[in-house]
């Protein structure tokens, strides 16, 4: 990406790593078999490649068995399958879900749909850094609680949730724990078994894999009737997600995850350094800048910054030819509603609209970005002092 603006939106999506693309290419052309048609060599080769990918993803995530990985089109689908499929044979009015106020819309929207049908939904508040209190979760559990869904890392402010404690509480209470880890897989060391997670969603395009592929980890020990399919057809993926598998994308996802795991420590060290340099550079010029999120429990690549007096959308427009970044939230900026995540950590509507999200990636020049942003902020129309 040598021409055009510098890409600073790695939490929205990432480019496919060339090493990933190279592994994928043959599966678009000569290796065209359908993995469900294993009676001939083409089908058998595709099936083998898919199963090797499944094994490698399972190993990277600390799953005891590769059978626990279900391929989906991404984290949105994995989240929907979990929430709509959990104990789907029970009447909706007898289902109770616990989640946090800062979840992604692909968790909050299916829950809103279930709530309209009569389900009970408990939304846990978060502290000023965006973390839930595990004790509040414990207190919210009821005998009829169907499932707890709490994200690993937030897509706007990068905050990491206390997943280990949540896993322990849910397992002790015998209640299913789902974790939307779309922002964490490939970026944070995580071991599903150790964390006592029952269901976990992930998405390849967040870790330098292709778009349109992801997965759901479904713990083998959970009863078959705990998770019901929401789509029906050819019976693929243990019947939970029927449809012909996207072979090149699955191979790309497995390759991308393997590379991300190998390079994670070094990459995160680099990104943390970069984030520090960039934020310090900006804060020296504009001491009123505020960093959102939990400074201690945070994704390395996230910088979510409130710039008092500067409207984020105006700044984005001004710098559009130089930098591609997002306002507080890519999704809510479309609707031009204040971000529910920023509201949950206590920002006013006005502050929400004065907030930008920078998603860092290796290879960018933090000093240059700080200079471009400084110039933009200095020239942006100001609304308050
Ligand atoms: C936390 C979180 N959950 C879910 C999703 C949806 O993922 P996908 O793009 O794979 O549907 C995203 C991506 O924006 C995300 O950040």
The pTM assigned to this predicted structure is 0.97
Give the ligand 1 atom nearest the CA of 214.
10
Give the ligand 1 atom nearest the CA of 73.
10
Task: Note the pLDDT tens digit of each residue in 28-66.
Answer: 999 999 999 978 999 999 999 999 999 999 999 999 999
- pLDDT confidence of residue 383: 56
For residue 205, the enclosing domain spans 18-258
Domain boundary among 258, 278, 301: 258
Domain boundary among 241, 258, 275: 258
Contacts of 300 (CB under 8 A, 6+ apart): 187, 267, 268, 269, 271, 272, 275, 360
Active-site position among 63, 170, 179, 331: 331
Domain-located, residue 312: yes
Q: Are residues 322 and 251 in the same domain?
A: no
Q: Are residues 175 and 239 in the same domain?
A: yes
Q: Residue 287 is part of a domain; what is its CATH number?
A: 3.90.1150.10
- pLDDT confidence of residue 327: 87
- pLDDT confidence of residue 3: 77
Ligand 1 centre and the CA of 323: distance in Å?
22
Work out the pLDDT band at 208, boundaries 50, 70, 90: very high
- pLDDT confidence of residue 352: 95
Ligand 1 centre and the CA of 243: distance in Å?
21
Is residue 352 among the annotated active site residues? Answer: no
- The chain-wide mean pLDDT, for the chain, equals 94
Q: Answer yes or no: is pLDDT of 1 > 60.
A: no
Domain-located, residue 1: no
Task: Note the pLDDT tens digit of each residue in 329-350.
Answer: 444 445 678 999 999 999 999 9
Q: Residue 29 is part of a domain; what is its CATH number?
A: 3.40.640.10
Work out the pLDDT band at 207, boundaries 50, 70, 90: very high
Q: What is the DSSP letter of 102?
A: T
Task: Note the pLDDT tens digit of each residue in 211-252.
Answer: 999 999 999 988 777 999 999 998 999 999 999 999 999 999
Q: What distance in Å separates the CA atoms of residue 167 and residue 55, rounded to the nearest whole number?
A: 24
- pLDDT confidence of residue 225: 79
Domain-located, residue 180: yes
Write the residue with the smallest CA distance to atom 14 of ligand 1.
12
pLDDT > 70: percent of the chain? 96
Write the residue with the smallest CA distance to atom 4 of ligand 1.
75
Give the ligand 1 atom nearest the CA of 76.
11
Q: Are residues 139 and 179 in the same domain?
A: yes
Q: What distance in Å separates the CA atoms of residue 170 and residue 278, rounded to the nearest whole number?
A: 39
Q: Are residues 229 and 106 in the same domain?
A: yes
Please tell me if the CB atom of residue 255 comes closer than 6 angstroms to any atom of ligand 1: no
Domain boundary among 225, 258, 291: 258
Q: Are residues 226 and 249 in the same domain?
A: yes
Write the residue with the smallest CA distance to atom 16 of ligand 1.
155
Task: Note the pLDDT tens digit of each residue in 356-382.
Answer: 999 999 999 999 999 999 999 999 877
Ligand 1 centre and the CA of 252: distance in Å?
18
Task: Note the pLDDT tens digit of each residue in 138-190.
Answer: 999 999 999 999 999 999 999 999 999 999 999 999 999 999 999 999 999 99
- pLDDT confidence of residue 331: 45
Tokens of 11: 């939490």
* Mean pLDDT in residue range 71-86: 98
Number of domains in the chain: 2
Domain-located, residue 245: yes
Q: Are residues 209 and 118 in the same domain?
A: yes
Q: Are residues 212 and 285 in the same domain?
A: no
Write the residue with the smallest CA distance to atom 15 of ligand 1.
182
Nearest Cα neighbor of 331 from 8, 117, 11, 51 is 11
Please tell me if the CB atom of residue 155 comes closer than 6 angstroms to any atom of ligand 1: yes
* Mean pLDDT in residue range 294-321: 95
Q: Are residues 212 and 308 in the same domain?
A: no
Q: What distance in Å separates the CA atoms of residue 383 and residue 366, rounded to the nearest whole number?
A: 27
Domain-located, residue 353: yes
Q: Are residues 185 and 244 in the same domain?
A: yes
Please tell me if the CB atom of residue 130 comes closer than 6 angstroms to any atom of ligand 1: no
Write the residue with the smallest CA distance to atom 12 of ligand 1.
182
Please tell me if the CB atom of residue 204 comes closer than 6 angstroms to any atom of ligand 1: no
Domain-located, residue 384: no
Q: Are residues 116 and 130 in the same domain?
A: yes
Domain-located, residue 161: yes
Domain-located, residue 55: yes
Please tell me if the CB atom of residue 254 comes closer than 6 angstroms to any atom of ligand 1: no
Please tell me if the CB atom of residue 56 comes closer than 6 angstroms to any atom of ligand 1: no
Q: Are residues 243 and 307 in the same domain?
A: no
DSSP string, 61-80: HT-S-GGGEEEESSHHHHHH
Give the ligand 1 atom nearest the CA of 331.
14
Q: Are residues 317 and 240 in the same domain?
A: no
């Amino acid at each position: 990406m040598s021409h055009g603006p510098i890409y600073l939106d790695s939490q929205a999506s990432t480019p496919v790593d060339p090493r990933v693309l190279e592994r994928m290419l043959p599966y678009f052309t000569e290796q065209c078999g359908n993995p469900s048609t294993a009676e001939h060599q083409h089908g058998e080769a595709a099936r083998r490649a898919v199963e090797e990918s499944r094994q490698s993803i399972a190993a990277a995530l600390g799953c005891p068995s590769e059978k626990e990985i279900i391929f989906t089109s991404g984290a949105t689908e994995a989240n929907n399958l979990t929430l709509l499929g959990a104990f789907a044979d029970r009447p909706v009015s007898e289902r109770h879900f616990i989640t946090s106020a800062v979840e992604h819309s692909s968790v909050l929207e299916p829950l809103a749909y279930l709530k309209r049908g009569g389900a009970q939904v408990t939304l846990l508040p978060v502290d000023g850094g965006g973390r839930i209190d595990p004790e509040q979760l414990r207190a919210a559990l009821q005998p009829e609680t169907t499932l707890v869904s709490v994200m690993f890392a937030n897509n706007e402010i990068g905050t990491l949730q206390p997943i280990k404690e949540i896993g322990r509480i849910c397992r002790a209470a015998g209640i299913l724990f789902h974790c939307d880890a779309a922002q964490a897989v490939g970026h944070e060391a995580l071991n599903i078994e150790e964390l006592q997670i029952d269901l976990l969603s992930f998405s390849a395009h967040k870790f330098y894999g292709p778009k349109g592929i992801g997965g759901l980890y479904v713990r083998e020990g959970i009863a078959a009737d705990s998770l019901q399919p929401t789509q029906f057809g050819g019976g693929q993926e243990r019947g939970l997600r029927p449809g012909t598998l996207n072979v090149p994308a699955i191979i790309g996802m497995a390759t991308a995850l393997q590379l991300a795991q190998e390079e994670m420590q070094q990459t995160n060290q680099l990104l943390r350094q970069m984030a520090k340099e960039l934020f310090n550079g900006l804060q020296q010029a504009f001491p009123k800048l505020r960093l959102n999120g939990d400074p201690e429990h945070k994704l390395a690549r996230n910088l979510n910054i409130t710039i008092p007096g500067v409207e984020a959308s105006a700044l984005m427009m001004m710098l559009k030819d130089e930098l591609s970044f997002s306002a507080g939230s890519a999704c809510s900026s479309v609707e031009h509603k204040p971000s529910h995540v920023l509201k949950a950590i206590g920002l006013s509507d006005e502050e929400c609209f004065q907030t930008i999200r920078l998603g860092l990636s290796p290879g960018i020049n933090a000093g240059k970005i700080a200079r471009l942003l400084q110039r933009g902020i200095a020239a942006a129309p100001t609304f308050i002092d």
